[in-house]
Structure 1
Amino acid sequence: MGFSSERVALRGRALADVALLAGALALFALLALQMMPFVPDDSFISYRYAANLAGGHGLRFNLTDSPVEGYSNFLWIVLLAGAVRLGLDPVTTGAFLGGLLGLLSIVALWALLKKCGRTGIHLAVPVGLSALAAPSLLYAISGMETALFTFLLLAALWAAADLLARPTPGRALLLAAAGALAALTRPEGVLALPVIVVCLVVAEWRVSPARRGDVGRAAGVAVLAFAIMQLTYHLWRVAYFDAVWPTPFLSKGAAGGTASFVDPLLTNLGQFFVRQTHYYSPMGYYYAAILLGAVLGALLARRRQHHRPVEWTALILALVYAAVYLNFVDWMPGMRYYAPLLGIMLIPFSLLGPELRSAGGQAGDWRSDLAFLLLGAALGIFSLSSLASLRLDSNQLQTSTQASTVELGHWLRETMPPDAVLAMSDVGATPYYSGLQTIDINPDSLTDRTIAENGWSDDYFFATDPDVVAITAFSLTQPDFYAVHEALYAMPRFQSTYRQVGTVRNDWYQDRSYWVFVRRSISLTPEQLATFPKGIHKP
């Protein structure tokens, strides 16, 4: 009788946990739909690469140029190219696929926490917070690789927990595959597997002498398989692009010296806690609240000498990536690089529930659970507040992108010869919708290897001989450009070759705009000039 009652209770808890997952997925889907549309300019770089790859042209930004690795999300581009090959629109597919991966990330977190013994309220709070995580919601529907990277990091941690339960070669290969896929999604993904393996081996070495050999051998298999996968990919990559370093690394990541770390660090601290670029809401407080809970959960478990290797591994992995991202300055709202870390931090955060219960004793079960629930509710309200702020910020950015870079791309497609060459700094939506060969003239060029390797050169600009030039400006009336573009604009050769046809405003609070110049030999009708996009206007 007692055994039967226990089975019924276990089944009831299992069904409740499944119902919790279903509710979290429904909540995430509903909130993600509320955030749409949000397609930042950078997403269109991936769409252009994917369209060219699907068309049989390889990984080229311009069809007439050699392949160039001007992206940092190889696997995401391959997935999008597969969708384009099937006849699907990459913009729509990017949002749908990202949303699906956001849902799968919640499933992965739920499954991992179940494997770690969480159930009931101790499962509901972290999974519920993952469904409310504002940055995760925003970037799941952005067409960027954020949700894919989140899912693969959680999958790698799940595979690590599975390997700890039974260290076999097959499970080691599963961990290696998850780590390799994460490394193909983001360059810094290469850190995930080494960090996870080191943490697991150290944890088992300290507390389980009898399992050292099994875990060590399985870890060795995982590392060897991962190394083979990575070596194979990079040998192909170097041979295909005829270059060791991707252009984003050359233009943004190759600088050395202390200043190259200190300057981004100081900039990021200001963006995280004071004001993010373009007057977006600072999100550092939200991330800090989740991180504080994660650290407290892990420390409580350690204080009570509870062996929690998976949770500690997740915390260390999150801290490693947080340190790496301090050198990544990003202009988009919500601290997008950190978004994948939210799900990881919720793994050690989930320890707060059982550790509070353990500290309170049997009589304190309901009090400790209530405290954990109230903490989750407070953070949930914080998440909703952050979600509201991000929705306003993302709507502002989406309106700007649609009215400026997208419309400029449409105008160029309708007015310029198909073989015209465009030169501009923001090489997302405008090149994508115009279909023109594009020279990335940003001083930190992503898709032009010559500028990325050698820096800006006026001679190189004139050698490319663009027909249209769109210069990023910080004024509607004065030539306030990047310094190299101001010098270019002031050159008599530039003035004699190009004439300005209009200004496209793309910022609500600043006079940030694109000054568009066309070769003087290109004739435009009054009707064509009348349809030139003006961009956004002050409300």
Structure 2
Amino acid sequence: MTRRDIFRLGIISALSMGTYLLASYYYFHIGFPLDDAWIHQTYARNLAMRAEWAFMSGVPSSGSTGPLWPSLLSIGYLLKLAPYIWTFFLGWLSLWGIVVLGTGVFSALTSRYSNKSFWVGLLLALEWHLVWAAASGMETLIFALLILSVLGLLVRIEHLKEQIHGWSWMGLGVLIGISVWLRPDGVTLLGPALVAPLIILENGSQKIRSTIITILGFILIFLPYLLFNRFMAGSWWPNTFYAKQAEYAILQNLPFWKRLIQLGVMPLVGVGVVLLPGIILLIKKNVIKKKWAPILGFIWFMGYLSLFAWRLPVTYQHGRYLIPMMPVFFVWSCAGFSEYLDSKTNNLMQRVTKKSWILITIILLLVFWVKGAMAYARDVAVIESEMVTVAHWVNQNLAPDIIVAAHDIGALGYFTERRILDLAGLISPDVIPFIRDEAALKKYLDDQNANYLITFPNWYTILQDSATLIFQTQGKFSSQFGEENMAVYLWKLP
């Protein structure tokens, strides 16, 4: 790909993401579509301004899923570009990186560079899940970039295995280690990375050497991550690793196959549904040719999907936990799609099918890009009109030394800097064992001398019966999602 093409894709990525930001601005105003984004911002600000890793000043914790993301965000506070400009800049860089890398991996999968590579980049720049994630303020897309880097590197290694040296395997392990600093599930990339040398390389000693080098590269980065969590919170993994699974454990009562289908649909909402046959064609071709790296990428994709279906089968917020794997699905599918389009045929029906497939792909891509912009605007409006509004009210009306119990702590922590009891367990891991037990939570609030409870009215019915409503937002957007307005309850006078 030429430098001009790379630059053009960067501009297109910026315009695509910028459209989503403009949509939120005109719909309500600029913000983040997830309250969790404010958790990262709070850690980042405290790191930059106070040189401490804490959500509440002076109280070290590991409530941020990946320490690397708040660390990157903290630069924005030093540059006076936080919370929005620097965060959106990083989101754009991540989207652009996926777009450019995706074209390269596509070329490697198809064993050639063609003008189709640019169009694959364009598809990635307009795919609504990816644009939404780029503007979300979360680590999602930079994590997706590392996933695509690892699996793309495996494809390249297989193509150039005679020319590959130990540094490539070391780099592979290092990339996986870095990914864990963004999200713990990055450790799943060790699977394809350790299997690859065993089936790609032919020499026995090379297989062993490459595997050991990959593990060493990974441990070099992963071990400090474990020690960091142990030092900050007394556990090897961040609090979020345990809290989210505990909170949604009830969903595991559904049959596994139902959970798998519910999550498997997420990448297909949009252009993915017409690209699905492409990934099947690609795997079929590579099985015949005994090209194992693309197959390992597909197995990782299915394994990642299955892991979430097993432990965290949630589909809310557009399947945001699955967005990191989606670029793999799109690039692999486009590669198989390309092989089909390049196949020569004189059959009229096949020619019509090919052109129809292209046309439907373009239409769905653009339609869902627009729908995604509106979804993003609504998501931002809900967070701003509920969580952020409540946070500002607390800051203006309640004493600075109060203790607040809340489920959504992001905006509350960022804008109020009050002491918070986290009912979701992210910064209060002691609630995780009884996270769904309201009677136990009630006792916990009493024992911790909580003064106020902040939640949506239908979330904690027992707790609300023991409290007095003193404020409720008048936001008009929550009702679109079937929710009531967020409320502040008096639990016990300070």
TM-score (norm 2): 0.85
Taking a change above 3 Å as real, the CA distance of residues 336 and 38 of structure 1, as seen in their structure-2 partners, is: farther
2:465 aligned partner, one-letter code: A
1:320 aligned partner, one-letter code: G
C-alpha displacement at 1:102, in angstroms?
0.8
C-alpha displacement at 1:212, in angstroms?
5.2
C-alpha displacement at 1:449, in angstroms?
1.4
C-alpha displacement at 1:144, in angstroms?
0.5
2:304 aligned partner, one-letter code: Y
The 8 Å contact of residues 409 and 422 in structure 2, kept in 1 or not, is answered as yes
Q: Does 1:306 align with 2:289?
A: yes
C-alpha displacement at 1:345, in angstroms?
1.9
SS of 2:35 mapped into structure 1: coil
C-alpha displacement at 1:157, in angstroms?
2.5
The 8 Å contact of residues 130 and 343 in structure 1, kept in 2 or not, is answered as yes
Q: Does 1:338 align with 2:322?
A: yes
Distance 2:45 2:347 in 1: 56
- Which residue does 2:301 correspond to in 1? 318
- Which residue does 1:450 correspond to in 2? 430
C-alpha displacement at 1:366, in angstroms?
13
- Which residue does 2:470 correspond to in 1? 501
Question: Per-residue CA shift, 1:42-68, capped at 9, x if unaligned?
Answer: 211111111122233532222243x22
Distance 1:265 1:54 in 2: 45
- Which residue does 1:196 correspond to in 2? 193
Q: 1:220 aligns with which of 208, 212, 215?
A: 212
- Which residue does 2:184 correspond to in 1? 187
1:98 aligned partner, one-letter code: G
Distance 1:368 1:168 in 2: 44
Distance 1:464 1:257 in 2: 25
Distance 1:359 1:471 in 2: 57
Distance 1:61 1:451 in 2: 17
- Which residue does 2:457 correspond to in 1? 473
C-alpha displacement at 1:264, in angstroms?
7.8
C-alpha displacement at 1:190, in angstroms?
0.6
The equivalences for 1:11-410 within 5 A come to: 15=2, 19-36=4-21, 37=30, 39=32, 40-56=34-50, 58-65=52-59, 67-116=60-109, 117-164=111-158, 165=160, 166-198=163-195, 200-204=196-200, 209=202, 211=203, 213-253=205-245, 260=252, 262=254, 266=258, 269=261, 284=269, 286-302=271-287, 305-326=288-309, 327-330=311-314, 332-352=316-336, 355-356=339-340, 359-360=343-344, 375-410=357-392
Distance 1:392 1:112 in 2: 31
C-alpha displacement at 1:181, in angstroms?
1.0
SS of 1:333 mapped into structure 2: helix
- Which residue does 2:27 correspond to in 1? none
Distance 1:202 1:330 in 2: 35
Gaps of 5+ in 1: 1-13, 277-281, 475-480, 523-539
1:514 aligned partner, one-letter code: M
Taking a change above 3 Å as real, the CA distance of residues 97 and 415 of structure 1, as seen in their structure-2 partners, is: same
Taking a change above 3 Å as real, the CA distance of residues 366 and 216 of structure 1, as seen in their structure-2 partners, is: farther
C-alpha displacement at 1:96, in angstroms?
1.7
The 8 Å contact of residues 314 and 347 in structure 1, kept in 2 or not, is answered as no
The 8 Å contact of residues 106 and 335 in structure 2, kept in 1 or not, is answered as no
Distance 2:198 2:347 in 1: 33
Which 10-residue stretch deviates more, 366-375 or 43-52?
Answer: 366-375
- What is the CA RMSD across the aligned residues, in angstroms? 3.3
SS of 2:473 mapped into structure 1: strand
Q: Percent identity?
A: 18
Question: Which structure would you say has the larger Rg?
Answer: 1
RCO comparison, higher one (Cα < 8 Å, 6+): 2
- Which residue does 1:517 correspond to in 2? 489
Q: 1:421 aligns with which of 378, 383, 403?
A: 403
Gaps of 5+ in 2: 22-29
C-alpha displacement at 1:121, in angstroms?
4.0
2:302 aligned partner, one-letter code: L
Which 10-residue stretch deviates more, 408-417 or 128-137?
Answer: 408-417
2:299 aligned partner, one-letter code: I
Distance 2:64 2:43 in 1: 8
The 8 Å contact of residues 298 and 349 in structure 1, kept in 2 or not, is answered as no
Distance 1:229 1:407 in 2: 40
The 8 Å contact of residues 502 and 515 in structure 1, kept in 2 or not, is answered as yes
Distance 1:301 1:519 in 2: 62
TM-score (norm 1): 0.78
Question: Per-residue CA shift, 1:249-270, capped at 9, x if unaligned?
Answer: 3333259999736368646755
Taking a change above 3 Å as real, the CA distance of residues 366 and 432 of structure 1, as seen in their structure-2 partners, is: farther
The 8 Å contact of residues 167 and 214 in structure 1, kept in 2 or not, is answered as no
C-alpha displacement at 1:378, in angstroms?
2.2
Taking a change above 3 Å as real, the CA distance of residues 265 and 238 of structure 1, as seen in their structure-2 partners, is: farther
Distance 1:22 1:334 in 2: 29
Distance 1:263 1:465 in 2: 41
C-alpha displacement at 1:358, in angstroms?
7.0
Distance 1:52 1:365 in 2: 65
1:235 aligned partner, one-letter code: L
- Which residue does 1:477 correspond to in 2? none
C-alpha displacement at 1:342, in angstroms?
2.5
